[in-house]
């Protein structure tokens, strides 16, 4: 808990409470202005429903394709949590475990799942889908965060078997995501998160970008933060 608090404090310094991280963007609209964030345990079903509501239409704004992986835009509704990376199948590592609901038309990082049900498994990155990621502070990008990377040769790193094969702490768990009206939801089986039903969380809407050409930038960094449910990324919310 102490390490997490130190991490969040240093992140807020980097982002200036996220106000200085904001930039003019074609994506910075009401669809990413968070009203509420909620995680509800359904013990009779053994699942949790994670939900973000916004001022606009959740999930209706999609990234404009870049036409290639390098520089590919990624939009996300993100739930930073107090859960440990080991709770969802990663090896122990420092950072913030987050559940990110993302859309990115230039690539598909869910090789096991056919989200648009067309019998082609590598063409549906634009469909909103979930990832578990470990976030770490990163002053190289305006949003102050990136997905934690590792060297491909590092045999100490363990990823869940549903990972997309990238050298990052990222998983593609395949949970169902539904966006309708001002709400986007994802349903997560409790056993897929070590049956942890008591944790803290927050909600963030953000713009990310892929980098495969510049060594001094992260592979997947946060470049703009549109809104934060708590206002200060303090993870004040608890499971209902």
Confidence of residue 18 (pLDDT cuts 50, 70, 90): very low
pLDDT at 8: 52
Taking residues 143-153, report their average pLDDT: 93
Neighbours of 133 (CB within 10 A): 29
* CA 159 – CA 76 distance, rounded (Å): 21
- Rounded to two decimals, the pTM is 0.90
Q: What letter would DSSP give residue 30?
A: G
Kindly state the tokens that stand for 63: 């990234």
- The closest of 2, 18, 27 to 142, measured between CA atoms, is 18
Question: Does the pLDDT of residue 211 top 80, yes or no?
Answer: yes
Sign of CA dihedral 232, 27, 55, 200: negative
Q: Which residue has 């990832």 as its token pair?
A: 131
Q: What is the number of alpha carbons within 13 Å of residue 104 lying toward its C-beta? A: 28
pLDDT at 53: 98
Rg over alpha carbons for the chain, rounded to the nearest Å, is 16
Task: Encode pLDDT of 193-206 as tens digits.
Answer: 999 999 999 999 99
Confidence of residue 24 (pLDDT cuts 50, 70, 90): low
Task: Encode pLDDT of 158-204 as tens digits.
Answer: 999 999 999 999 999 999 999 999 999 999 999 999 999 999 999 99
Which residues contact residue 117 at a Cβ distance below 8 angstroms, ignoring those fewer than 6 apart? none
* CA 237 – CA 118 distance, rounded (Å): 38
Question: Does the pLDDT of residue 38 top 90, yes or no?
Answer: yes
Question: Does the pLDDT of residue 19 top 50, yes or no?
Answer: no
Taking residues 33-58, report their average pLDDT: 98
pLDDT at 222: 97
Taking residues 151-155, report their average pLDDT: 86
Confidence of residue 123 (pLDDT cuts 50, 70, 90): confident
Give 118 or 103, the one with higher predicted confidence: 103
């Amino acid at each position: 808990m102490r390490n997490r608090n130190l991490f969040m404090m240093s992140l807020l310094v980097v982002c200036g409470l996220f106000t200085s991280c904001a930039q003019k963007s074609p994506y910075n609209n009401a669809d990413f202005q968070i009203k509420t964030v909620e995680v509800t345990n359904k013990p009779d079903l053994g699942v949790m429903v994670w939900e973000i509501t916004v001022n606009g239409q959740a999930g209706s704004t999609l990234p404009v394709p870049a036409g290639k992986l390098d520089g590919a835009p990624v939009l996300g509704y993100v739930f930073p949590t107090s859960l440990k990376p080991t709770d969802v199948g990663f090896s122990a590592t420092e950072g913030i475990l987050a559940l990110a609901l993302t859309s990115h038309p230039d690539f598909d990082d869910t090789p096991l799942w056919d989200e648009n049900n067309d019998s082609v498994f590598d063409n549906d990155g634009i469909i909103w889908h979930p990832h578990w990621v470990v976030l770490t502070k990163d002053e190289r990008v305006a949003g102050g965060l990136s997905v934690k990377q590792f060297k491909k040769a590092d045999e100490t790193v363990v990823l869940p078997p549903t990972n997309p094969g990238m050298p990052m702490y990222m998983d593609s768990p395949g949970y169902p995501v539904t966006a309708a009206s001002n709400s986007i939801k994802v349903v997560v089986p409790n056993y897929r998160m070590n049956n942890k039903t008591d944790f803290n969380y927050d909600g963030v809407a953000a713009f990310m970008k892929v980098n495969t050409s510049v060594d001094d930038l992260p592979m997947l960094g946060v470049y703009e933060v549109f809104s934060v449910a708590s206002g200060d990324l303090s993870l004040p919310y608890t499971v209902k």
